[in-house]
Amino acid sequence: MKVVTKQYNASVDFDLQRKQYSEKIPLSGSVPAGSGVYLLKTNVSNLGHFKCLRITGRYETLYSTAGTLTGQTAQEIVDDGICHVRASLQDGAGQRIMFSDYVPLDLFLSPGRMRSTTAVNNLIDVAGYANRADAAPQLFYPDEFSYTFQANSDILLYCKNDSNYAISIDLCFHGIRLLSGKAVSGIR
Amino acid sequence: MDLFSKNTKGYTAPFWIYKRLQIAHPREYFMFSISYGYGFLLRKLRIKYPETVTGSTVQSERLKLEFFDNANYTARQPVPFALDFISTPGFDGATVHAAPSPADSTAFNVNMSAKPFPKSSGILNFLYKYGDTLRIDITEQIHDPISGLWSPNYIDLLLQGYYVPDLTQAQYGEK
């Protein structure tokens, strides 16, 4: 794009802005402990199609000691820094499978692991069995994922959690909302 | 073949191929058959593997990769090249942990540390024809004769790419 030399046309720009604008669609949820397959989903809404360009996300790394390490009777939730959740993405319209298998979240999500206030070792060492959790990474490296999700469809995320504690995950789909009448023709 | 042009009729879709390999030989193979009617454009490759193996006295951080078009046995490079030439090395703190119960047996009952590796990777843009088998050979893993263990013992591969329709195929009714 020739930023300096290009002459902008206000009416064209405004027309374009009314029809297309940047949007981010979140997908959040908690995957139950030991779940074989658990479905999280978000809706694209009938406002218009959604041209996804990138994916980011984060997740917790927790498990429950249940008193097994120190003889405690109460359940203790520990941040062990291990990626327990795998996920598979699917386009709800047409059921198109986009991952060949369940992919561990640490392989593709940025910023990735997040600390949880639920963990007893969130900020301090817990004498006897858990060191303070490592600092959560702050890398931000959105992954390319170019795909157009249809208006009024769902984005499906099938998850597996092999931890014995529920794990919260958040994904964000970065893209462009396509609002033009032509783009949503036949939808509304 | 144009990835995002109108010629693909909107059939182009991202497809990520994931596999966890258990290392047990000097040369390990990753293979994936490309569907008929589609080419596969491999954009990026992510690899993560444990830096150290419990009980082993050796450590391997110099894995090498060879990309093949299996249909005609054509290598995509003159010699195997080191992983860190195309991607940030994936061994940063990625130790393997036994999965707590209940574990998923399809993933060898192990998990990787969630410690991040900078997910920076060169763009490969390798295009595989329909019906071909995408093949990657992995070498330079080390066998420890004392413990009998391989280092690394597991490798996570994530191939990020796109299925691109080959509209010359009869199933699309075009040419």
Write out pLDDT tens, residues A31-45: 999 888 999 999 998
Residues A106-113: what's their mean pLDDT?
87
* Domains in chain B: boundaries: 6-172
Number of structural domains in chain A:
1
A36 found inside a domain: yes
- Asked if residue A13 is part of any domain, the answer here is no
CB A167 within 8 A of CB A31: yes
A43 lies in some domain: yes
> Highest-confidence range of A14-28, A48-62, B64-78, by mean pLDDT?
A48-62
pLDDT value, residue B42: 92
Q: Which CATH class is domain B6-172?
A: mainly beta
- Residue A125's pLDDT band, with cuts at 50, 70 and 90, is confident
User: Would you state the pLDDT for residue B1?
Assistant: 43
Interface test with B, best of A143, A178, A182 (most B CBs within 10 A): A143
Contact B107 A110 (CB under 8 A): no
Q: What is the pLDDT along chain B (175 residues), one digit of tens a residue?
A: 455 555 565 578 899 999 888 889 999 999 999 888 888 999 998 888 887 787 888 876 678 899 998 887 888 889 998 887 777 666 666 677 776 655 566 666 777 777 655 566 778 889 888 888 899 999 988 888 888 888 888 888 899 999 988 777 666 665 5
Complex ipTM value: 0.86
* Nearest-CA distance B56 → chain A (Å): 21
Check residue B17 and give its pLDDT.
94
Q: Is residue A155 part of a domain?
A: yes
**What pLDDT score was predicted for residue A159?**
94
What residue numbers bound the domain in which A163 lies?
28-178
Q: Is A55 a domain residue?
A: yes
Residue A123 domain flag: yes
Per DSSP, the residues of A128-146 read: TTBPPPPPPP----PEEEE
pLDDT for A188 equals 44
Q: Is A133 a member of any domain?
A: yes
Q: What is the pTM of this model?
A: 0.87
Residue A89 lies in a domain: yes
Q: Which residues of B123-152 are buried (b: 16+ CB within 10 A; e: fewer)?
A: ebebbbebebebbbbbeebbbbeeeebbbb
Chain B nearest CA to A86, separation (Å): 10
> What's the average model confidence in pLDDT over A87-101?
92
CB contact under 8 A, B46 and A108: yes
Pairwise CB contact (< 8 Å): B99 & A84: yes
